A and B are shown apart, each in its own frame.
Chain A
Amino acid sequence: MSMRQLPFDNLRVLDFGWVWAGAVVGQILGDMGAEVIKVESRRRLDPARQGRPIVGDVPDPEQNPLFHNVNRGKLSTTLDLTHPRSRPLVKRLIEISDILVENMTPEGIEKLSLDYERVKEINPSIIMLSYPVAGSYGPFRNIRGYAPTATSLSGIDSLVGYPGEPALGMGGFYGDPNVGLHGAVSVLSALWHRKKTGEGQYIDLSMWEAAVCTIGEAIMEYTMNGRILGSQGNVSINAAPSGVYPCKGDDKWICIVVKTEEEWNNLCQAMENPSWANEERFSDLYQRVQNQEALNELMSQWTIHYDHYELAESLQQKGVAATPCLNTEDRFLDQRFNERENYVFVEHPVLGSEPVYGIPYKLSETPGQVKERAPLMGEHNDYVFGELLRLSPEEIEKLKQNKVIY
């Protein structure tokens, strides 16, 4: 990657975010040049450092792929925040930072004296972003949880399932990147305001609410008409055929969506005009939407004979919106998909060469970069406490012995 200017070369982020969601805002800013100081501790190991090791069977905080993705390029310091002697160091870090992010429960953050009231006494121009599951106030403010917690509380889980059947819940970890991205919008806006006025402020973001924001029309279906949407399946209200159809091979699928008459005609031609396609029940979009179950069944009997990539390509050439459903392996191997650097390789001292995800928005002048792999625990203690906070090597050593730096 060419060395171009990074927009946030002069920005310092103090990152108390943990697990997945909490680390995303720092990651976004870090890729754009910010110096992100992650504060973590062996006393309360980030769950993103736990879990099954990638190599071997012995638990190892340096092997979690989640951690490696969302903390790439950050500096790691280890500080036991419950130790009273950590306080002067935390104060100094707050003083020299522009942005503080955290996603602990409100009671947790108050226990550590890291609530905004206290933070702003130390640095009034800091921008502090808190994003626990349920926000920083309200009767259930201390809900703890993970991405699936956000999708369960927001109603999103209730929309994922086969029509008429119980909810299966959202796949992946939707709630985490979703709140991280909303968090970045808020922090960058507050930073814009600070540029103009010098004013810092506090942002209270809810992971739960950020998920609800992405199903606004389902909320309005209820507030307008009292209708409660349930399992959505692959059903479309304005396209048919529309769905995911089986292809040749083990668990291979293609997604085909047909909205216009032109697309329908193109599809029929691609299928070599089977007689069923001329039946009255499929004669226009209204009929096809009405009879989509039968249509899907007939489509499946056709798609099953083809390779998912090849069929998509030939349908696309005829003007039909068709794409293969990529699984993990496909996403890794598909060169065409990865022309856009959906992942890049970094060298990690424990795992060696490993992929981490790329930057999806391609900025023509300041594209940003994955600067560096994720840090080892405490890898940057000497730089942060020595060079930035100007502690002597002896002081640092003593703090380590006393498990303040831990």
Chain B
Amino acid sequence: MAEQALSGVKVVECGSMVSAAYAAKLLADLGAEVVKIEQPGSGDEARSYGPFPGDIPHPERSGLFLYLNANKLGITLNLKTKSGRDIMHQLLNEADILVENHHPKEAKESGLDYDTLKEVNKDLIMLSISPFGQKCGYSDYKGYEANCNALGGITMYAGEPNREPLNPPLFLGSYQAGVAGAVACLIAMHARDLIGHGQHIDLAKVDNWGSFHLGIPLVEYVFGRRIWQRYGRRAIGGPYPQTILGCKDGDFRLIAMTKLEWRRFLKIMDNPAWGDDLRFQDRIKMQQLYADELDSLIEPWLKKHTKQGLFQMFYDGKVPFTPIKNIEDVVNDPHLSARDFFVQIDHPEAGRLECPGSPYKFSKTPPTIKRPAPLLGEQNEKIYCERLGYSRKELLRLRRTGVI
């Protein structure tokens, strides 16, 4: 097997649900060894989330868990016990990176405290993902996924203007924190070569929305220009079109940032006479003043064509309009399958799984799926006996006393 980009990098993950698990997954898929620590008994909460094959709940068959934890080794360890924390220290002694997403209020009681852990291993890089950050602003607030989205600002940008704003679907906010966390861990790995020791990374889910995703509207606000807000299917401001309109068998995304793209689109529509209307020359004004009228000129034409037909026309005509694909369309998409994007994983309890693979191909060190997600405590013996030198007898005792 070819060497992978992160071969030799050792990661310990104490994560529940999505954010820490996604950060560690990104590193694992690129070759890092990830040992995931789960609470004895119930394990990661993602094990109870689903989806489950046939809708029958089973802790070894949760789609969310199986997707996020492939390529990892799994052990159980009760971090609320002193013995559990001692064992974690042994593991961290050898590790490069620790990833965790406990609320700051709960992290300490599980021994996830950087000041203590850096004494164990000064080279350790510790990533802490939390809803609102470690110790300022809203740190003490309790925050589930939707709360982080709301405070991060993204919620106010989706939905119809006179109805309630829409929280982003599923766990997008946690995925964003996960990928930003992976970036930060890699920066710290490179930095370690320079400064000679590890460091702590404090990442708040809200900040990721507040910066990368939503920094731009602040400038417009400061200068008294348009304020971004939710506007149903249409984006407010910017050039026309930026909207979703119906077609024969579904919906289509229309967006053209350049005049050339807009011209090409009109050509595909056979250059309708209204295209020369003097009101329809400045596309920012078009979006502000005439968007409804323009929609009603375009939509009947779209409705004569199917998603697939339109997509091909626009692709050939170099117009960036694309269909709103539903999940079935995505899984069966010919382009994605030509790229082998989806991967099949055989899991001993859940059978054959199909889920997204990595979004990138590396010419020399390709990401791969080497093993399915671990069963609860699957690698206990391997890690505790083979690696840390515990005897079988000690392992049994640790199990009986609820440490593992």
Interface residue tally for chain B (C-beta within 8 Å): 152
Q: How far is the CB of B205 from chain A (nearest CB, A)?
A: 9
Do A185 and B183 touch (CB < 8 A)?
Answer: yes
Do B154 and A152 touch (CB < 8 A)?
Answer: no
Q: Is the interface of B mostly helix, strand, loop or mixed?
A: mixed
- In whole angstroms, how far apart are the Cα atoms of A146 and B253 in the complex? 11
Do A171 and B190 touch (CB < 8 A)?
Answer: no
Q: How far is the CB of A215 from chain B (nearest CB, A)?
A: 6
Residues of B within 8 A of A368 (CB): 187
B341-382 interface code vs A (CB 8 A; 1 in, 0 out): 110000000000111101111111100000000000000000
Q: How far is the CB of A88 from chain B (nearest CB, A)?
A: 26
- CB contact between A47 and one of B68, B258, B355 (< 8 Å): that residue: B258
Do A139 and B334 touch (CB < 8 A)?
Answer: yes
B165-186 interface code vs A (CB 8 A; 1 in, 0 out): 1111111100110011111101
Q: How far is the CB of A10 from chain B (nearest CB, A)?
A: 9
Residues of A within 8 A of B121 (CB): none
- CB contact between A209 and one of B197, B237, B341 (< 8 Å): that residue: B341
Residues of B within 8 A of A214 (CB): 171-172, 175-176, 179
Residues of B within 8 A of A169 (CB): 158, 233, 244, 253, 324
A327-366 interface code vs B (CB 8 A; 1 in, 0 out): 1111110001111101100000001001111111111111
Do A65 and B219 touch (CB < 8 A)?
Answer: yes
Residues of B within 8 A of A160 (CB): 158, 166, 168-169
Do A55 and B191 touch (CB < 8 A)?
Answer: no
Do B362 and A186 touch (CB < 8 A)?
Answer: yes
Q: Is A84 an interface residue (CB 8 A)?
A: no
Also in contact, A167 and B244, with CB within 8 A (given A156-B169, A255-B155, A365-B195): yes
Also in contact, A204 and B360, with CB within 8 A (given A321-B147, A357-B210): yes
Residues of B within 8 A of A340 (CB): 133, 136-137, 204, 207
Q: B residues 208-265 with Cβ under 8 Å of A? A: 208, 210-223, 225, 227-230, 232-233, 235, 237-239, 242, 244, 246, 251, 253, 255, 257-258, 261
Do A259 and B144 touch (CB < 8 A)?
Answer: yes
- CB contact between A170 and one of B143, B158, B195 (< 8 Å): that residue: B158
12 residue pairs from A and B, CB less than 8 Å apart: A141-B335, A181-B179, A181-B180, A189-B365, A214-B179, A223-B353, A225-B53, A319-B142, A326-B151, A355-B215, A360-B180, A366-B195
Residues of A within 8 A of B164 (CB): 234, 243-246, 253
Do A225 and B51 touch (CB < 8 A)?
Answer: yes
Minimum CB distance partner of B224 in chain A:
A54
Do B150 and A255 touch (CB < 8 A)?
Answer: yes
Q: How far is the CB of A128 from chain B (nearest CB, A)?
A: 9
- In whole angstroms, how far apart are the Cα atoms of A28 and B323 in the complex? 31
Also in contact, A206 and B179, with CB within 8 A (given A221-B63, A234-B167, A366-B187): no
Minimum CB distance partner of B26 in chain A:
A185
A352-396 interface code vs B (CB 8 A; 1 in, 0 out): 001111111111111010000000000000000000000000000
Q: Is A89 an interface residue (CB 8 A)?
A: no
Q: Is B157 an interface residue (CB 8 A)?
A: yes
Q: Which 5 residue pairs of A and B lie closest in terms of their CB atoms, listed nearest first?
A: A357-B215, A171-B157, A171-B158, A220-B63, A65-B219
